[in-house]
């Protein structure tokens, strides 16, 4: 990062992001609520892979064509499963569908605000 260029003002503060011009037409500029710019984030359309149907798992978001919920798949990763393990154990899934799970979750989290509330015993 020691080199300075005229594009340096367009770079994000996150090292894995790239200037907008290098990512083509699928690039979005994402502004987080606290004002930091996520310039050059390449996103996917998760709607091709994730849907919600009240008749399937009470409407939980699932991967299309399966009964695998986003929540369940994230739980596997949280439990230490690798992408390879998930794909081997659920052969109907694709790498793109797993990527859509994370894209969907990221979008949901961008739209949420989380607050820390004191316990009743601490409020007094």
Round the average pLDDT of the chain to a whole number and report it. 73
Q: How far apart are CA 61 and CA 43, in angstroms?
A: 19
DSSP letters, 33-64, are TTS-EEEEEE---GGGTEE--TTSGGG--EET
Give residue 117's pLDDT.
67
Query: Given this model, what pLDDT does residue 75 score?
Result: 97
CATH fold of 44-111, please?
Answer: Arc Repressor Mutant, subunit A (1.10.10)
Two structure tokens written together for 15: 């090292």
How far are the Cα atoms of 30, 39, 104, 115 from residue 12, in angstroms, in the given order?
A: 11, 5, 22, 26
Q: Which SS3 state, helix, strand or coil, does residue 65 take?
A: coil
Question: How many other CB atoms are found less than 10 A from the CB of residue 71?
Answer: 13
Q: What is the pLDDT of residue 110?
A: 79
> Which residues are within 8 A (CB) of 96 and not within 5 positions of it... i.e. 6 or more apart?
44, 49
Count the Cβ atoms, other than its own, within 10 Å of residue 40: 21
Residue 98 has pLDDT above 50, yes or no: yes
Mean pLDDT within 74-89: 97
Question: pTM of the entire structure?
Answer: 0.60
Q: Where are the domains of the chain?
A: 13-43, 44-111
């Amino acid at each position: 990062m020691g080199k300075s260029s005229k594009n340096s003002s367009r770079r994000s503060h996150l090292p894995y992001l790239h200037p907008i011009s290098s990512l083509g037409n699928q690039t979005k500029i994402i502004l987080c609520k606290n004002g930091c710019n996520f310039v050059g984030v390449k996103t996917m359309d998760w709607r091709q892979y994730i849907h919600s149907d009240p008749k399937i798992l009470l409407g939980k978001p699932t991967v299309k064509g399966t009964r695998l919920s986003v929540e369940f798949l994230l739980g596997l990763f949280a439990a230490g499963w690798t992408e390879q393990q998930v794909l081997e154990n659920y052969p109907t899934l694709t790498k793109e569908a797993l990527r859509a799970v994370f894209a969907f979750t990221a979008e949901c989290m961008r739209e949420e605000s989380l607050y820390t509330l004191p316990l009743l015993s601490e409020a007094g």
